[in-house]
Amino acid sequence: MEQHRSGIPSFQARAELSLELVHATEAAALAGARFLGRGDPDRVTEVASDAMRQSLEGSGLTGTVVLSPRHQTYLPRGMVIQGGDRKVDLGPFPIEGASQVARGHINAVSVLVAVEPGGFATLPEVSHMEKFVAGPAARGAIDLDDAIADNLRRIAFARDVRVQDLTVAILERPRHQEVIAEVAATGARIRMLEEGDFASAVMAALPGTGIDAAIGIGDPYATLASACAMRCLGGEIQARLWPRSDEEQSLIGELATHIYGVAELAPGADIAVAITGVTGGPLLPGVAYGSGYAETSSLLMSSRHATVRRMTTRHLVVGEIS
């Protein structure tokens, strides 16, 4: 395939890490999107992971997988992907929402986060974290020790709107019933999502998505990846460990009450994030197919360059030259 891209300025573009990453998220999205609605989430994850790995092997990066969900077997933690000379630590999420792809639903994305070696935060080995995310206008407005109603009032004040005008994204999980009830009691609107721990956080920090905050309890690695995106977007995030067993409670000890902010969750000096839409939604359009081409839409973020780019790529199927 040849690729035509829009959204990249010509000046020193190749020096930006996120431009290396987006090739991998595009490859994963293109591979996974072919299985839209075909009922096999494991196959979606497998082909997307293979495509992301192969793309990284052909890149200028050698990456060590550091952030990887527990169920991720194709790109496990500790795996080293040999590419070029530049060494990075990676957080690959080849498809966030593989079940969404398999069922033909919206909001699936491919995500890849990279930092300098040692640039990801290290947390105790617990299965869940609670988090509260909002956009740049609400920086300083979130306090996990306060009630949800108080937090939403401060976010509304910072945005110069009423609480009733806010829309809060929450994943549809049994553990979120109390959270949903608390948000509903404030009068704020609620957008229920089947999947999208990371994507919902980015939507809360990005204008134009219709989401003003994201609240919930989810995967710690998705929380760390979300914090990396907040570093690039200027958004606000607070998180706290959420132990599910006596063993996890004993493991974290005094950290049970500790509230992590964005600087602690994403301490890297050079953070890059690439996100490519797979099935489409408020965050990004999905993969689209035409005669002889496929088109992807991506977001690229860099903390070092202080940039957020939107990129549309047309991947052309080119025949042999006669």
Check which CATH number belongs to the domain holding 256 and give it: 3.40.190.90
Q: What is the pLDDT of residue 70?
A: 74
Q: What is the largest CA-CA distance in the chain?
A: 70
pTM: 0.93
Mean pLDDT of the chain: 93
| Phi, psi (rounded to 5 degrees) for 254 | -70, -15
Q: Say if residue 142 is in the same domain as residue 244.
A: yes
Cα–Cα dist 269/83, whole Å: 22
Q: Say if residue 140 is in the same domain as residue 234.
A: yes
- Joined together, the tokens standing for residue 246 give 């006596």
Q: What is the pLDDT of residue 322?
A: 44
Strand partners, 88: 63
114 within domain boundaries: yes
Q: What is the pLDDT of residue 69?
A: 78
Q: Say if residue 227 is in the same domain as residue 133.
A: yes
Q: Say if residue 144 is in the same domain as residue 252.
A: yes
For residue 252, the enclosing domain spans 129-265
Q: Say if residue 49 is in the same domain as residue 155.
A: no
Residue-wise pLDDT for 89-111, tens only, equals 999 999 999 999 999 999 999 99
Instruction: Give the total number of structural domains in the chain.
Output: 2
183 within domain boundaries: yes
pLDDT means per 10 residues in the chain (322 residues)? 50 71 98 97 97 97 92 91 96 97 97 97 94 96 98 97 98 97 98 96 97 97 98 97 92 94 96 98 96 97 96 82 46
Q: Say if residue 288 is in the same domain as residue 230.
A: no
Residue-wise pLDDT for 241-276, tens only, equals 999 999 999 999 999 999 999 999 999 999 999 999
Q: What is the pLDDT of residue 9?
A: 47
Check which CATH number belongs to the domain holding 56 and give it: 3.30.540.10
